Amino acid sequence: MRTIAVLGGGIGGLAASYYLCKSPQISKVVVFESSNRFGGRLWSTRRSDGAVFEHGPRAIRPAGAVGHNTLNMVDDLGLAMEILPVTHSHVASKNRYLYVNGQLHRMPSGISGLLRTVPPFSRPLLLNIAMEILVKKGTEDDESIHSFVSRRLGKELADIAVDSLCRGVFAGDCKKLSVRSCLPLLYNAEQRRGSLTLGLLLGSGPNPVVTPGPLAQRSIKESWAQWSLSRGLESLAESITEYLQQSEIVQLHREAAVKQISPSASGWMIHLEDGVISADHIISALPAKALASSLPPSCQPLIQELQDISTVTVAVVNLEYDGSILPVKGFGHLIPSSEDRGVLGVVYDSVSFPQHNRPKGETTRLTVMMGGAWFQEEFGAPEAVKDEHLLARATEVVNCHLGVNTAPSWSWVTLQRDCIPQYYQGHYRRVEAMQRFIRKNNLSLSLIGSSYDGVSVNEVIFSGRTAVEELLGRGV
Ligand SMILES: Cc1cc2nc3c(=O)[nH]c(=O)nc-3n(C[C@H](O)[C@H](O)[C@H](O)COP(=O)(O)OP(=O)(O)OC[C@H]3O[C@@H](n4cnc5c(N)ncnc54)[C@H](O)[C@@H]3O)c2cc1C
Ligand SMILES: C=Cc1c2[nH]c(c1C)Cc1[nH]c(c(CCC(=O)O)c1C)Cc1[nH]c(c(C)c1CCC(=O)O)Cc1[nH]c(c(C)c1C=C)C2
């Protein structure tokens, strides 16, 4: 008879609860979420005319073990009918742009793109790739992404392409982010094969294996590059919530902020605003700093490591324009920090997912993402920044980069505060130290969510599954 408390009702906490309630070994699962809704960063607006806008994640990758795992869950939840796939041959998969020197440049792709000199790069990228095989293996146990890529592929690629990609995934600074924690595939390729090219061709070590179910098999057969859901990605969180509500062993609490957790003879006492609940084990899916502020002083070394995990704030501005206004078609464009520090990129949502456009009359939906690691220096303190200022900057970018001089017919500004953890150099050591502390002190505590081993929705869901498997493996 075991009670598991799940702290945090974002996709990480929901996924862990989903896996827990599939196990006959568990008798009770109690989920605590501080806000009035589940889903955390998964947040979709469904307008009454049928249009859908994402204020958080907008597309999930189907590939690999973590991608198959999420699709297996989607299938199990009965959401397969709602899936919106984007195949590799779709224009949104083929075309991604960089905005450099005041112009949009299509990112090189395919063999022909690598053989030619494609601006903004000054020579064919195949040369960088060919030379990479000859570069000696690094000696550091971790390195910034910028330093790693400069060393192996050249400074130009690091300054433009990799700088932009880090902004388009982590909203972060590639000179601070860790290659080992953010791009483990590339780090392992160098470690195991001495080269990225060889590592990617020959494989670079064991990966988790997940048997693809029918939907994941369909994604392979049809060559999907990304997917969303017809009612937006928040419906994944809503479906898990509905599934959990039907389970007799799950209790879901909204507006239930965890204030303090303290050890007890059998596990933990969880202190809320209006009461105390006991649990045998805690799965924390809280942001690292929120967990740090709840832990007892006896956990000081763990508290310190958790507090030291930085996060960044992203301003997300959804824009809708009447008509078809884009000069190019594709996923969107990224902006390197050398071009504009404050604006990270623009997603052309209506190209990837036209199904989310309102059904009547042609419209274009865009999302401008701003801030990230540069938020404070560009916009000031997040609590003081005005929505009108963010909206004005976003529409100015659309005008300047895409030549759109009409005003949007609809807009929405969201400030996603402290939303993407930054895995700085040495992050892997921090995670190892936290796990060591938990083991050494026999704490009945699992850490999941985006603060530790991957920020994508797939990785966060997989972290929930792994924690539950480890817990059950210990015979809880
Ligand atoms: C703008 C943006 C775009 C993104 N785009 C993509 C994308 O395209 N594809 C992709 O795969 N990923 C994307 N991501 C990343 C992904 O969405 C997140 O990393 C992931 O959703 C994080 O899930 P989580 O459960 O770890 O954290 P969260 O969603 O932050 O959940 C944590 C939960 O804990 C709750 N909480 C906090 N404190 C307490 C407390 N004291 N007591 C109780 N509850 C508490 C919070 O309210 C929250 O609900 C994006 C993220 C952002 C911000
Ligand atoms: C401009 C800012 C951002 C854009 N998306 C995100 C930010 C901060 C957040 C984000 N995007 C992706 C992920 C998940 C990563 C994963 O491993 O699945 C997250 C957290 C997906 C993604 N987006 C881009 C890339 C290269 C990736 C990685 C996966 C893939 O190759 O599909 C590029 C990209 N992101 C944004 C734009 C405008 C853009 C490129 C044109 C928006």
pLDDT digits (tens, 9 = 90+) for 180-223: 999 999 999 999 999 988 888 888 777 888 999 999 999 999 99
The C-alpha angle with vertex 387 and arms to 39 and 423, in degrees rounded to 5, equals: 50
Q: Is the CB of 236 under 6 A from ligand 1?
A: no
Sheet of 28-32: strand order equals 250-253, 28-32, 3-7, 281-284, 445-447
What single-letter amino acid sits at 265?
A: A
CA distances from 401 to 103, 186, 397 (A): 7, 32, 6
Phi, psi of 140 (to 5 degrees): -80, 150
Q: Give the chain's mean pLDDT.
A: 95
Q: Is the CB of 344 under 6 A from ligand 2?
A: yes
What's the distance, CA 209 to chain centroid?
21
CA-nearest of 98, 201, 194, 109 to 152 is 194
CATH topology assigned to domain 108-202: protoporphyrinogen ix oxidase, domain 3 (1.10.3110)
Whole-structure pTM over 0.90, yes or no? yes
Q: Is the CB of 287 under 6 A from ligand 1?
A: yes
**Pair of tokens at residue 415:** 């400030």
- State the CATH class of domain 3-40+233-309+424-473: alpha beta
pLDDT at residue 114 tops 80? no
Task: Convert the pLDDT of each residue in 164-176 to its tens digit.
Answer: 999 999 999 999 9
Q: Is the CB of 431 under 6 A from ligand 1?
A: no
Percentage above 90 pLDDT, the chain: 88
**pLDDT score of 476:** 53
**pLDDT score of 475:** 58
Q: Is the CB of 460 under 6 A from ligand 1?
A: yes
Task: Convert the pLDDT of each residue in 18-77 to its tens digit.
Answer: 999 999 899 999 999 999 999 999 999 999 999 999 999 999 999 999 999 999 999 999
**Pair of tokens at residue 42:** 């998964």
Instruction: Count CB atoms within 10 A of the CB of residue 242.
Output: 12
**pLDDT score of 473:** 87
Tell me, in angstroms, the distance from the centre of ligand 2 to residue 227's CA.
13
Residue nearest (by alpha carbon) to ligand 1 atom 27: 10
Tell me, in angstroms, the distance from the centre of ligand 1 to residue 138's CA.
34
**Pair of tokens at residue 291:** 């967990």
For residues 366 and 406, is the Cβ–Cβ distance under 8 A? no
> Measured between alpha carbons, how far is 97 from 401 in angstroms, rounded to an integer?
11
CA distances from 40 to 236, 237, 295, 418, 457 (A): 12, 9, 21, 12, 11
pLDDT at residue 12 tops 90? yes
Q: Is the CB of 415 under 6 A from ligand 1?
A: no
Percentage above 70 pLDDT, the chain: 99
pLDDT at residue 262 tops 90? yes
The residue written with tokens 């796990």 in the block is 435
pLDDT at residue 9 tops 50? yes
Q: Looking at the DSSP assignment, which residues form a beta bridge with residue 343?
A: 370
For residues 338 and 163, is the Cβ–Cβ distance under 8 A? yes
Task: Convert the pLDDT of each residue in 215-260 to its tens digit.
Answer: 999 999 999 999 999 999 999 999 999 999 999 999 999 999 999 9
Q: Is the CB of 336 under 6 A from ligand 1?
A: no
Largest CA distance in the chain: 67
Nearest bound ligand to the CA of residue 448: 1
> 8: Cβ–Cβ under 8 A, 6 or more apart, which residues?
32, 33, 40, 284, 285, 286, 287, 290, 449
Task: Convert the pLDDT of each residue in 415-467 to its tens digit.
Answer: 999 999 999 999 999 999 999 999 999 999 999 999 999 999 999 999 999 99
CA distances from 398 to 44, 127, 364, 405 (A): 22, 34, 12, 8
Q: Is the CB of 420 under 6 A from ligand 1?
A: yes
pLDDT at residue 1 tops 50? no
Task: Count the alpha carbons within 13 Å of 330 in the hemisphere toward its beta carbon.
Answer: 18
Q: Kindly list the domain boundaries of the chain, sorted by start residue.
A: 3-40+233-309+424-473, 108-202
Tell me, in angstroms, the distance from the centre of ligand 2 to residue 59's CA.
9
Q: Which of 47-51, 375-379, 393-397, 472-476 has the weakest average pLDDT?
A: 472-476
**Pair of tokens at residue 426:** 């040495």
Backbone Cα Rg of the chain? 23
- Which atom of ligand 2 is the closest one to the Cα of 455? 20
Q: Is the CB of 33 under 6 A from ligand 1?
A: yes
Residue nearest (by alpha carbon) to ligand 2 atom 14: 456
Give the model's confidence band at 144: pLDDT under 50 very low, under 70 low, under 90 confident, else very high.
very high
Task: Convert the pLDDT of each residue in 432-443 to its tens digit.
Answer: 999 999 999 999
**Pair of tokens at residue 438:** 């938990």
- Which atom of ligand 2 is the closest one to the Cα of 454? 17
**Pair of tokens at residue 242:** 């509905």
> Is the CA virtual torsion 115, 118, 123, 129 positive or negative?
negative
**pLDDT score of 226:** 98
